[in-house]
Chains A and B, each alone.
Chain A
Amino acid sequence: MKHPIQTEAGFVGNFHNGVGWYVYPTKRFKTISLQAFWVNDLTPSTAAQGALLPHLLKRGTLRWPDSMAIEKQLETLYGASFRADVGKIADKQLISVSLDIVHGQYLPGTPDTLHAGLAFLEEILNHPLTPSKNQFAEQYVEQEKELLRRQIRGLINDKNQYAMHRLLETMADGRAFGLRKLGRVSDLDAIDASRLYQYYEKVRDQSPFVLLVVGDVDPATIESYVKQGWSRGRHPLGAIEPYTPRHHNHEVIEEQPVSQGKVNWGYATGHTLTSPQYPALMMYAGVLGGFPHSKLFVNVREKASLAYYAYARIDAALSLMVIGAGIEFEDYQATKRIVAEQLEAMVEGEISGQELQYTLEAFRNDILSEEDSASQLIGRQMEKILLGGGLTGDQLIKALSEVSVSDIRAVAEGIQLDTTFFLTTDGSGRDSDG
């Protein structure tokens, strides 16, 4: 099956039969960035395995049997930076392995670091350490399970992330997008060295695979590498399930020993990246809370001094928006009132020419600046591949510049409050000295 992706200026490549390769050839960077993805549905039964897998891939390979050997190889490759981890877009879990390496032409003796880099990725992805046939090292699996268990539980350490996750989980009401990318502790126990290896083989042989590269690289090199190594019978990319609200103005208040309250509001917007109204939604969220000139920052922070931060952010894949602020516990009602007033102002179309202009210019700056960052270019391209389209670069800037106040009002009228999550004090006091 041919995936309906049009490649724009910048990336060249394609996605066929569950395998994709995209290269952004440029001489602007002295580094080459490579990132490979396996894409899977985020499900309760596989999320923890998917999260565990990159940790095992990092522990050792046939050629480099422990992480110390892998690390020494990276140091020899001029401090190449290597990551293997798991990500999430809506209801998809992305297992990814990435490598940033200095291009050989900028190094003494001009070593061929591109091929060294590809060989490194190949070794990590295809030749993990298997001391006994068809299973990972048992001891490594148990260690990584324990570390992942702690990492999952460690969500509570970051109050912002915690509040955000609790909001999403409540809004999802059991649907996959409410799962964490790390999975659940309760699913870890059933995983062992041979089950995880079976899962790895399935992912390696069947999951949709994409390799993205940014740098001074000949696309043909990457094309032939992917065609030779990765063209097996793979699943096509599954469509992302659109989000629809199940609550209306639902409020969850949770108490913990914290110094600052965190309030997050989640809204249904009705539009994803591929919607014709998406540029209007971007302008809506930008005017409301994307920047220091935006309504939320000006009214919650600058005028009322209630918060250090107050923002609105849209999720392009899920068609939802989150507004967040860190506040005094007793300022919850006051903040709620100001936020409601700002949303109402958006519906009423109370948007000045200056607000519109500043927001457009700020987006233009963000979009153009992305082109200076290989990792952002790769992330944006991956989002397009998964969502099956969407505007980027100059086309997106043009679309944003054509958005009118009435377009924004139309979007504003469709914004519905789903859930409020407020993390507040349990009354145990604020003694920061413990």
Chain B
Amino acid sequence: MDKRSNAVIGETLYTERLASGLTICVVKRPGMKKVFGTFATHYGSIDNTFVVPGSTGVTDVPDGIAHFLEHKMFEKEDGGDVFNDFAALGASSNAYTDYTSTTFLFSTTGHVQQNLEILLDFVQRPYFTTENVEKEKGIIEQEIRMYLDMPGDRLHSNLMEALYSHHPVRLDIAGSVESIRTITPEMLYQCYQTFYHPSNMVVFVTGDVDPEAIFAQVRRNQEAKGFGNQAEITRIFPDEPLEIKKPRVEQRMPVAAPLFMMGFKDNAVGKQGQDLLRHEIVMGLMWQMLLGKSSRVYAELYQQGLINDRFQARYSGGITYGMSAVGGETLDPDLLQRELEQRLPEATLRSEDLARLKQKEMGEMIGLFQSPEDLGYVFNSMYFRQIDLLSYLDVLNSITIQDVERAREGHLTAQVRSVSLILPLEHP
């Protein structure tokens, strides 16, 4: 068992890596009623071209299959449903899929050991049949259609398609109604066997628990299953040009006012670990300094009536892609675009703002540990990018105003910029 702490955050991470390659992490929350556990795999919607370990050929699978697989994991061989196994213990369970990972979770106020056992077992016991796969298509089709009616979701989705020509991050996580119709049980098994090996996964538990007891239980559970080693998974991504695909995309929907989102494709990709963490923190600070609620540009755009208080600017990314998204509702998308294009490169970046934002980040990092769901999400996503969560504040403190200035120069150029718009049906 490895035990590491950070004095400023005042928290400890207990971790252990098993022979199969599975990593387990525990964060103690004394006095809390709820125990929250996740079992996550480093496999998301962008992993649709790969080499199955032990074979030589390249495999292509339909868009949306990682999310489809997530849904199907809840089905049991006896026809039952995993939700019911958790329900019998009074726990709630759920799962989500994003671009790079799939996470299964439970939340409980009792029977922690049994719940953890169910989590470990159902994620490692796939059962797909033609019948149960066909049945799921109707449900997922309704999930996709629900998102198609959400303007904010379309805004982001269309932006990704405008920024990227080939990288699968340009596709919706759930795929399309057409792509999911081609999914078969064989494809699901192939993806499962490739990406659900323990060496590609992590277990995270937080609550009023004893880390050693959690490790002992997971160890026992995994040893009984006798997992062998698995060779490294080769994930294949198409060559993505430096330039964006389209500078502007528009869609009309029943909305009250135009929705605007400006995106910047980040070409400084391929980083992982502490380099990636540093890059992400710099990007995050840059956007807070340029367009955060305490920034001059935000105040002026608000004053001009161009934005409202739900306007956002942020960076997000993984190992193979990265992008910034800036936007919200506006009555004059063209003017907002011109203002941003002009002001962002010119705005003064001040050291005193940076110092204050570091103080803010410190408080928020302490606050993160108060929310089991958010902590689980952040821990898992950092883990899969080989980032050490506890080093966050040290890296943060080492960042200088010159780092932020350099990030702006490299990122905010016209060649990597696209604008996505959702316009009202009656917009001129």
Chain A interface (Cβ < 8 Å from any Cβ of B): 26-31, 58, 66-68, 71-72, 74-81, 100-102, 106-108, 143, 146-147, 150-151, 153-159, 256-260, 291-293, 301-302, 305-309, 326-328, 354, 357-358, 361-362, 364-366, 368-369, 371-372, 430, 432-434
Q: Which residue of the partner chain, among A29, A79, A328, contacts B142 with CB atoms under 8 Å?
A: A328
- Closest residue of chain A to B357, judged by CB? A75
Are A150 and B256 in touch, CB under 8 angstroms? yes
CA distance A124 to B84 in the complex (A): 48
Q: Which residue of the partner chain, among A100, A108, A307, A354, contacts B8 with CB atoms under 8 Å?
A: A108
CA distance A370 to B137 in the complex (A): 35
Among the 9-residue stretches B37-45, B57-65, B247-255, B377-385, the one with 4 or more Cβ atoms under 8 Å from chain A is B247-255
Which 9 residue pairs are nearest across A and B when measured between Cβ atoms?
A78-B363, A361-B90, A305-B138, A434-B251, A79-B360, A79-B363, A71-B294, A153-B256, A292-B83
Q: B246 on the interface (CB 8 Å rule)?
A: no
Q: Which residue of the partner chain, among B30, B33, B145, B250, contacts A434 with CB atoms under 8 Å?
A: B250
Q: B266 on the interface (CB 8 Å rule)?
A: no
B66-124 contacts to A, CB under 8 A, are 81, 83-84, 87-93, 107-110
CA distance A157 to B253 in the complex (A): 9
Are A79 and B32 in touch, CB under 8 angstroms? no
- Closest residue of chain B to A294, judged by CB? B87
CB distance from A134 to the nearest CB of B (A): 24
CA distance A163 to B10 in the complex (A): 46
CA distance A30 to B364 in the complex (A): 11
Q: B225 on the interface (CB 8 Å rule)?
A: no
Are B254 and A156 in touch, CB under 8 angstroms? yes
- Closest residue of chain B to A155, judged by CB? B256
CB distance from A96 to the nearest CB of B (A): 16
Q: B238 on the interface (CB 8 Å rule)?
A: no
Q: B270 on the interface (CB 8 Å rule)?
A: no
CA distance A74 to B288 in the complex (A): 14
CB distance from A356 to the nearest CB of B (A): 12
Chain B at the A interface: mostly helix, strand, loop or mixed?
mixed
CB distance from B312 to the nearest CB of A (A): 14
Q: B295 on the interface (CB 8 Å rule)?
A: yes
Given A30-B370, A76-B356, A305-B139, also A68-B299 (CB < 8 A) = yes
Are B363 and A107 in touch, CB under 8 angstroms? yes
B133-166 contacts to A, CB under 8 A, are 135-140, 142-143, 145-146, 148-152, 154
Given A29-B370, A31-B367, A146-B305, also A362-B87 (CB < 8 A) = yes
CA distance A414 to B250 in the complex (A): 50
Given A362-B90, A372-B33, also A100-B367 (CB < 8 A) = yes
- Closest residue of chain A to B93, judged by CB? A292
B255-307 contacts to A, CB under 8 A, are 255-257, 259, 292-296, 298-299, 302-303, 305
Given A305-B135, A364-B90, also A260-B148 (CB < 8 A) = yes
